[in-house]
Each structure stands twice: as C-alpha cells, then as structure tokens.
Amino acid sequence: MSVAAILLAAGASRRMGQPKPLIAWGAGTLVVWEYEQLMASCVDDIVIVGGSRMEDVRRALGEAARHVVFNARWPQGRATSLALGARALLREGRERPETVVIQNVDQPTRPEIIDRLVEARRAGDHDAAQPCYTDAAGAVHGGHPVVLAGRLLEELAAATEETLGLRAVLDRHPPHRVSIERDPAVWLDLDTPDLLDDARRLFCVGG
C-alpha cells in the first residue's frame, strides 16, 4: 500500500521577499528539509513541483532533484502545480499510490503528523483526512497537510484556479478530521519574514 507526496514549491514568494524553497533552514534550505521530513515518514514516492528559480531549487536539492517536475505555468496559481504533480503520479509505469500527501513548502510539518493522517485515512477508507485544531475562541479549524485517497488523483489532475483547485476537491470529498491540538505545525504558514525565527525554534532548526 504505497504513499506518495506532492511537495508544492513553485511560487515566487513575494511577501516573503525571497523564494520560500530556498529559505535557510537548519543545515540547508527549507525545500531540502521538507523533502527529508516527507521521506522520514511513511511516504515512499514523491514529486516536487518547482517553478520560480527552478535551477537554484534543483541545485539545493542535489540528488533529490530527480524528483522535480517543472511547472512552466506556476505564475497562474498553485492549482497548476497541484495538477502537474497529480499527472506525474499518474504517469504510465508508475504505481498508483493508495494515499497522496499534499504538502506546501511554506507549511513545514513533522513525519509523525503525516503518519497519523495517513493511518486515519486508511483505517476508515476516507477520501481525505486533515488535521484540525481549536482556536482561543473555541472555533475548530482545518489544518495541514491534507491527505487524499489515490483514487482522487484524476480530480487533482483536473484542478484549476478557476475551479478552486484543492478546495473544490475537499468540498466534494469532506475530509475526516483528526484532532491535533497542541502542535502549531498544523496551522503554521510561512508568509512573511517575521515568522521565520519562531518557526525555526518550533522545529529546532537554525537558519
């Protein structure tokens, strides 16, 4: 029962002021660290979708660059990268995964979170699984990453910005919610430089 991941790392990251995949993170860059976290989990196949600063991202990844596909349409939105990653997993000769992890490079996570979501989706044969958490006001929110059944790959491959991308897929297949209350990793989103120091401390990495 294989588990694949699509690591979305194509955007220009204008609010961050530098490409997010190339942010200094630990001993290297964020994209390399994300790749290592995925491979330390139950994931056994991965597609890294790149776009902006593609050659720099490839160099940063070293041998792992063999997993990269280039999205020439990255300026048109994240859904184009999601669709390209799904098509890569559907390519002839590649085993269709039972489960697919959708991981954004600017939302660092932990292997144990991925494993827990994959197991929850698999145990209930859910179409999707997603972490959730409760805010200070008592409202429950969905977090990340999202985990999908491999049978939804064709829907992902057809995703567009006009059809709301991943959001539309989750509207059609409401995710099973997995409560993860005490780990900020499920809601952390690296949008601006002021978030980096706290995020590095959370994951015990330098930069």
Contact in structure between 68 and 56 (CB atoms under 8 Å): no
In this prediction, residues 103-111 reach a mean pLDDT of: 97
Q: How far apart are CA 147 and CA 186, in angstroms?
A: 13
Domains, in order of start, for the chain:
3-198 (3.90.550.10)
Query: Which residue has tokens 């978030």?
Result: 195
In this prediction, residues 153-163 reach a mean pLDDT of: 94
pLDDT tens digits, one per residue of 70-84? 999 999 999 999 999
> Please, what's the largest Cα pairwise distance for the chain?
49
Q: In this predicted structure, what is the pLDDT of residue 1?
A: 73
Q: What is the pTM of this model?
A: 0.95
φ/ψ region of 126 (left if φ > 0, alpha if ψ in -120 to 50, else beta) reads beta
pLDDT tens digits, one per residue of 1-12? 799 999 999 988
Band of pLDDT at residue 122, cut at 50, 70 and 90: very high
Average pLDDT over the chain, rounded to whole?
95
Please state, for a pLDDT cut of 70, what percent of the chain lies above it: 100
